[in-house]
Amino acid sequence: MKQVTIYTDGACSGNPGPGGWAAILRYGETEKELSGGEAHTTNNRMELTAVLRGLGALKEPCEVTLFSDSTYVVSAIEKGWLENWQKKNWRTKSGPVKNPELWQELLPLLSRHSVRFVWVKGHAENEYNNRCDALAVRERLKFE
């Protein structure tokens, strides 16, 4: 199975407001940048969209290490929140899960690939996270 590294980030102004997302896929020496945006969205939606688009770009099942500065995304996977949300019919103790359609879109991608999520500090020394941030902000600015 191919080993791929994906870096993702989302950006939003106003939250909700205009937003952008970006993903950088790395396989060996090959890199691919993906990015996009929406006129009215939230930061969490953009973070999750970046993950979806990054994993969705893989043409075959892969072993993926995915780096994100979103505690929302990383915790949902690594702490088992996503699994619990499914079991509880997309509800939390305080009400409906936010962005259920995006989480549901993620499930088949997580089944197809072996994915390990790693949290990285945003706006720090990780060059790929910083590149993702710049790409996401560029996309966000198209809607401002």
Active site residues: 9-10, 47, 69, 123, 133
Secondary-structure percent of the chain, ordered helix, strand, coil, rounded to 5: 40, 35, 25
- Name residues whose C-beta falls within 8 Å of residue 83's C-beta, 6 or more positions apart in sequence: none
Distance CA 94, CA 44 (A): 18
Distance CA 92, CA 88 (A): 7
- Name residues whose C-beta falls within 8 Å of residue 89's C-beta, 6 or more positions apart in sequence: none
Q: How crowded is the C-beta side of 35, counted as CA atoms within 13 Å?
A: 20
> CB burial class (10 A; 0-12, 13-18, 19+) of residue 75?
middle
